[in-house]
Structure 1
Amino acid sequence: MKKRQPFKSGVNYFEPKTVLYLTGDVNYSHVHLLSGQIILSCRTLKWFAQQWPYFIRVHKQALVNPIYIHQLNLGPTLRSNSYLIMQDAAQLAISRRRVASVVAQVGQTNNC
């Protein structure tokens, strides 16, 4: 009879510059990397936002690395949908209450 190998929980360390964006799912985060890999983390988006203050919180469920923002699409009015297109063609919605701050932060990173 084959002996089962015990499950090894992996600890992943990744550099912030390899992270495109993070999406939240209750008390977990999905970390989307440049390589296309998605890692499930037991940390919250709030924790990541505190660790990486230059990342931009665009929505309650999304935190993005401003380096990899490909396009910013703003709706014609405040009530219309605004969203970001990331380098991997993912579309992330911008919360209507955060549109002004996201535009300002993206403008600052583009000027540097």
Structure 2
Amino acid sequence: MTNYKYQNSANILFLEGDVNYTIFHFKNGLKKTSCYTLCRHEEELNSFIRISRKHLVNPSHIKNYSKEGTYAEILLKNGQNIPVSRRKIKEVEFAIALLRFR
């Protein structure tokens, strides 16, 4: 377990909350566990998008966003799909629209 420093946030694909721990998923396939909650990391990584109770995604690694009815998911550049919470769909769509506008 580590207290992760955020200077290399470009290498982080997404963060996954697991009770009182957070699992960092990196571009190179490594995973590191932090002893802090996802909420605490969200405060530090404010450019990341909260897509569900368990996931915080780096927007620079989003390849595609798809939605069918009330189901939505994000496809990352490494090929991994992460489901978007039904209650977060509008927020995620707004954040992705802002990214495309830039």
TM-score, L = length of structure 1: 0.83
More helix by share: 2
Larger Rg: 1
Aligned residues: 101
Give unmatched runs, 5+ long, in structure 1: 1-8
**What is the CA deviation profile of residues 44-89 of structure 1, one whole-angstrom value per residue up to 9, with x for unaligned ones?**
11011100111000000000000100110111x23xx210011111
Structure 1 segments of 4+ aligned residues over 4 angstroms from their partners: 9-12
The aligned residue for residue 83 of structure 1 is: 73
Amino acid at match of 1:109: L
For residues 87 and 48 of structure 1, the distance between their equivalents in structure 2, rounded to whole angstroms, comes to 22
More strand by share: 2
Q: How does 1:3-82 map to 2 (within 5 A)?
A: 12-14=4-6, 15-75=8-68, 77-78=69-70, 81-82=71-72
Give unmatched runs, 5+ long, in structure 2: none
SS in 2 for 1:105: helix
Q: Which of residues 94, 97, 100 is equivalent to 2:87?
A: 97
1:13 deviation in Å? Answer: 3.2
2:16/2:22 contact within 8 Å kept? yes
Amino acid at match of 1:26: V
Q: Taking CA–CA contacts closer than 8 Å with sequence separation of 6 or more, which of the two structures ends up with the larger relative contact order?
A: 2
